[in-house]
Amino acid sequence: MRVVSLLYRIWWSRQAAFVPFREAAARLYEQTKAADVLLPETGTVPRPTACLEYHARQLVRFAKYGKATFYGKRTSASSMEPIPHSDLWAGKYADDMSRWIAENGIEYLELSLRHSDLTTVIQSVRQAVKDHDALLAWCRRHAPSRS
């Protein structure tokens, strides 16, 4: 019984580990390529920084609407805590994606998400990309001919 409880604690701590925000945005891009779908069909390849920025904004949008939770350390605290929705709606992340700056002056360091939240967002974005592709194909098939 002791071995089982030890294995469970190891598994749970691994599942509960945090993913840094920048890494989460990179993983979201790697696994969905959602930014590529939304670009015009000009044949140009998007810059990696633009793709990373797009996916970072996707993560923030999901967090604002309660589908994911951002965590960070206040400058005076030593433990990770969830960032309140009011601070998410009235704030922004720094250029290096390592901290969240709320309008009221509170700053959260080591901005991150849980693995489970990132998995949920990835699944949602994949579904949205599939839906977008299906809608685009339907519109092209049913568009009036230009003859």
8-45: per-residue pLDDT in tens?
455 444 445 899 999 999 999 888 876 665 555 555 66
DSSP designation for 100: E
Give strand pairing partners of 117: none
Give strand pairing partners of 101: 92, 107
The domains of the chain are located at 17-141
pLDDT score, position 16: 55
**Helix count and strand count (H, E) for the chain:** 6, 6
How far apart are the C-alpha atoms of 129 and 47, rounded to whole Å? 20
Is the pLDDT reported for residue 120 higher than 50? Answer: yes
67-119: per-residue pLDDT in tens?
999 999 987 777 889 999 899 999 999 888 888 999 988 899 999 999 999 99
At residue 43, the 3 state secondary structure works out as coil
At residue 22, the 3 state secondary structure works out as helix
